[in-house]
Amino acid sequence: MKENFSAVILGAGLSGRMGQPKALLPFDDGRCFARKLADEFYHFGCKQVVLVTNDIVLKQISSVNYRFDDIVLVYNPNPGLGRFYSLYLALTNLTEPNHVFIANTDNPFIGSDVLRLLREHSKQADYICPTYQGKGGHPILVSPNIVNAVKSETSFHYNLKDYLNRFSKACVNVDNELVLVNINTFEDYYHFFNRRLS
């Protein structure tokens, strides 16, 4: 399985509502959101994990030891282009056209139960989405077909959801409501972690 799956963490947004980079928010005493996500993907067996981020995060990473040595860091010089451009940058830094999990940094609760279900259904469609009570969640799993299509694009003004609608989709019901979570505000963070951000 290691040869066939990689992961991309999209974290180049400016986190306007949060006011600080969500990739670096503390998840537990030893890890930030991005580190926790990478740990889950590597523990599951992913060959490579790519984090796409912005200059603010890169500066903070260089001054504090976030233990990102095993993560491929990709700089997005134009976050305003949106998630599609971030995905393009990430996929061009993968060594092989694998199946790829795509996660956002604002949902750090990804676990092996959901990853395993997505992998088990990876042959059913071009991309696989977890759903909880009929609502789509995170992460998604895309096929090499989508990976190669994105890498061949020369225009980056696509909405990622609209772009994915060109391809076949399969939904997998999961018994885990955390696939729906987005940590976008201080209130969201306090709700799930019961502590204030400094």
Given pLDDT bands bounded at 50, 70 and 90, which one contains residue 1? very low
Where would I find the H helices in 21-173?
33-44, 55-63, 83-91, 112-120, 144-151, 160-164
Residue with tokens 């005493």: 29
Domains by residue range for the chain, with CATH? 5-193 (3.90.550.10)
Length of the chain: 198
Report the share of the chain in percent with pLDDT over 90: 78
> What pLDDT sits at residue 198?
65
pLDDT average, residue stretch 134-159:
95
Given pLDDT bands bounded at 50, 70 and 90, which one contains residue 14? confident
Residues 6 or more apart in contact with residue 59 via CB below 8 angstroms:
none
> What pLDDT sits at residue 63?
77
Q: Contact at 8 Å (CB) between 90 and 11?
A: no
Q: Residue 190 is inside which H or E element, if any?
A: helix 186-193
Residues 6 or more apart in contact with residue 139 via CB below 8 angstroms:
7, 101, 102, 103, 104, 107, 110, 114, 115, 118, 130
Q: In the beta sheet, which residues pair with residue 32? A: 26
pLDDT digits (tens, 9 = 90+) for 42-86: 999 999 999 999 998 998 888 777 889 999 999 999 998 999 999
Given pLDDT bands bounded at 50, 70 and 90, which one contains residue 2? very low
Mean pLDDT over all residues of the chain? 92
Q: Are strands 135-136 and 169-173 parallel, antiparallel or unpaired?
A: unpaired
